[in-house]
């Protein structure tokens, strides 16, 4: 009998599955449910509900994630995959998103009828029909109150691994508690996307894992417990609603009988606690030793890496999360990624091939020319007014194209070092990682091998 492992990814736009066979080291099947095109009745755009009056409010319907699970498992079953051979299921959830559930959540999970779809049986479990997700930035006021509760942003960063961040779950919980106190008071469980999905699969409550918990501005990163001052800041009863944050390696359940009967899983199939997508990416890319770092080159660029120990001083530009191994990871997000590189290409109406060739025609260091590439507002470092500054740059494609990539890599290298990362090798991912010219500049700036 094959030993199959199912990995799920509940992300902003879709729920995806990959089944691997450890013995043959191969992917058995990949499947996906795309919310906007396949679950159109939730009226989401790219997986999220657009709020035209308040564009900084970005939510998604958690029932949609439930229905996606039903559809995805149905697709796998119809594909003829032997779900009975799946020995364990783990997953990754978009970080920071929160789900608010009443006291019927667990009883409902335990009484599921395998003859009926999941989404029809879980309509009454929510105290909030929409979940704030990571794209929400409506909690500026709550962030200030969070920082003030522990003596300022630096203290909050040292305590939780991050300064107060609008999309982080703690300030989001506070906003809900303050603005909708009746619904908040009737909430029995506050889950993250990760713990919500894991709980459904196991038919019982699975706590928030340490990794995803560090994306909430609530967990004391050193002792791995919720901070009581921050819990008090959220609202009464938050501790009970959150439950205990768990070490994902210590708690495993078995799959709920609903999934055994409806989809043909084995009753022995293990449910491993899920984590946030960033801690999961760390493991997925095999970054499990000091010095291993990844750079994802996408719309925005992210740099993240594994750290055996917490840095002496936590960088306020980075998020320090607990890794699934129990060690740590640092993550920084640079907003001026692909769009900045593309802005230079477009300015000179060049193709990507011409853009790359132009870079190759200039020497590393760009003859001393330099650019501050804030085509858009920037997160790291915080730039509140966009603007591009050129120092010694010639107005040519070659000079500017090299300048933008060198500037991006130097900003990453500087901030990665500040955050405590000491890269000895970089794994490049994301759309632009297929461009060898960009990877060469990455290797030149960081002075380490890139693959």
Q: How many separate helices (H) and strands (E) can be counted in the chain?
A: 18, 20
> Hey, which bits of 193-327 come out as E strands?
219-220, 225-226, 253-254, 270-271, 275-276, 292-297, 301-307, 319-322
Return the number of other C-beta atoms located less than 10 Å from residue 339's C-beta: 13
Pair type for strands 4-10 and 14-21: antiparallel
Comparison of 379 and 390: residue with beta carbon closer to ligand XUL: 379
Beta carbons of 403 and 370 less than 8 angstroms apart: yes
Tell me: does residue 59 bind ligand XUL (CB under 6 A): no
Distances in whole angstroms, Cα of residue 397 to Cα of each of 118, 227, 247, 350: 55, 52, 51, 8
Closest distance of CB 99 from ligand XUL, Å: 15
- Site for ligand XUL (CB under 6 A): which residue of 278, 296, 325, 362? 278
From CA 384, how far away is CA 278, in angstroms rounded?
A: 26
Closest distance of CB 369 from ligand XUL, Å: 32
Comparison of 10 and 356: residue with beta carbon closer to ligand XUL: 10
- Site for ligand XUL (CB under 6 A): which residue of 14, 95, 131, 217? 95
Comparison of 102 and 338: residue with beta carbon closer to ligand XUL: 338
Interacting residues with ligand XUL between 129 and 188 (CB under 6 A): 134, 167
Comparison of 194 and 202: residue with beta carbon closer to ligand XUL: 194
Tokens (6 digits) for 170: 């703690």
Q: How many amino acids of this chain bind ligand XUL (CB under 6 A)?
A: 12
Beta carbons of 243 and 205 less than 8 angstroms apart: yes
Stretch that binds ligand XUL, among 151-159, 272-280, 382-390, 414-422 (CB under 6 A): 272-280
Tell me: does residue 277 bind ligand XUL (CB under 6 A): yes
Stretch that binds ligand XUL, among 94-102, 199-207, 248-256, 291-299 (CB under 6 A): 94-102
The shares of helix, strand and coil residues in the chain, as percent rounded to the nearest 5, are: 40, 25, 40
Tokens (6 digits) for 396: 């040519």
Closest distance of CB 53 from ligand XUL, Å: 23
Interacting residues with ligand XUL between 6 and 45 (CB under 6 A): 11-12
- Site for ligand XUL (CB under 6 A): which residue of 10, 94, 325, 362? 94
Beta carbons of 226 and 219 less than 8 angstroms apart: yes
Closest distance of CB 286 from ligand XUL, Å: 19
Comparison of 286 and 298: residue with beta carbon closer to ligand XUL: 298
Comparison of 296 and 325: residue with beta carbon closer to ligand XUL: 296
Closest CA to 317 of 182, 411, 229, 252: 411
Point out which residues bind ligand XUL (CB under 6 A). 11-12, 94-96, 134, 167, 215, 276-278, 319
């Amino acid at each position: 009998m094959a030993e199959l492992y199912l990995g799920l990814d509940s992300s902003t736009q879709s729920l995806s599955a990959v089944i691997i066979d450890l013995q043959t080291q191969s992917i058995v099947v990949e499947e996906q449910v795309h919310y906007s095109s396949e679950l159109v009745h939730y009226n989401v755009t790219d997986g999220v509900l657009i709020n035209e009056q308040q564009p900084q409010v970005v939510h998604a319907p958690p029932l949609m994630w439930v229905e996606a699970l039903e559809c995805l498992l149905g697709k796998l079953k119809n594909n003829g995959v032997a779900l009975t051979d799946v020995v364990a299921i783990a997953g990754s959830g978009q970080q920071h998103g929160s789900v608010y559930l009443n006291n019927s959540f667990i009883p409902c999970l335990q009484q599921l009828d395998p003859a009926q779809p999941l989404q029809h049986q879980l309509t009454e479990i929510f105290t909030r029909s929409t979940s704030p997700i990571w794209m929400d930035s409506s909690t500026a006021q709550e962030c200030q109150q969070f920082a003030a509760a522990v003596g300022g942003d630096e203290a909050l960063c040292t305590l939780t691994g991050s300064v107060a961040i609008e999309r982080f779950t703690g300030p989001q919980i506070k906003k809900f508690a303050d603005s909708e106190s009746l619904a908040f008071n009737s909430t029995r469980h506050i889950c993250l996307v990760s713990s919500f999905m894991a709980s459904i699969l196991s038919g019982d409550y699975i706590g928030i894992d340490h990794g995803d918990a560090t994306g909430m501005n609530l967990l004391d990163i050193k002792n791995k417990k919720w901070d009581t001052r921050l819990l008090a800041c959220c609202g009464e009863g938050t501790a009970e609603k959150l439950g205990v944050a768990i070490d994902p390696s210590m708690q495993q359940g078995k799959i709920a009988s609903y999934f055994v009967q409806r989809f043909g899983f084995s009753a022995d199939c293990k449910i491993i606690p899920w984590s946030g997508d960033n801690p999961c990416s760390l493991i997925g890319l095999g970054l499990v030793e000091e010095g291993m770092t990844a750079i994802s080159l996408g719309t925005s660029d992210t740099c993240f890496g594994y750290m055996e120990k917490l840095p002496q001083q936590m960088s306020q530009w980075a998020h320090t999360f607990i890794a699934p191994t129990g060690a740590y990871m640092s993550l920084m997000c640079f907003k001026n990624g692909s769009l900045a590189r593309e802005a230079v290409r477009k300015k000179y109406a060049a193709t990507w091939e011409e853009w790359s060739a132009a870079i190759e025609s200039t020497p590393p260091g760009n003859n001393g020319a330099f650019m501050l590439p804030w085509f858009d507002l920037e997160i790291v470092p915080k730039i509140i007014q966009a603007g591009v500054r050129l120092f010694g740059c010639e107005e040519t494609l070659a000079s500017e194209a090299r300048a933008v990539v060198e500037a991006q890599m130097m900003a990453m290298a500087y901030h990665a070092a500040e955050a405590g990362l000491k890269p000895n090798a970089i794994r490049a991912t994301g759309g632009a990682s297929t461009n060898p010219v960009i990877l060469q500049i990455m290797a030149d700036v960081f002075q380490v091998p890139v693959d």
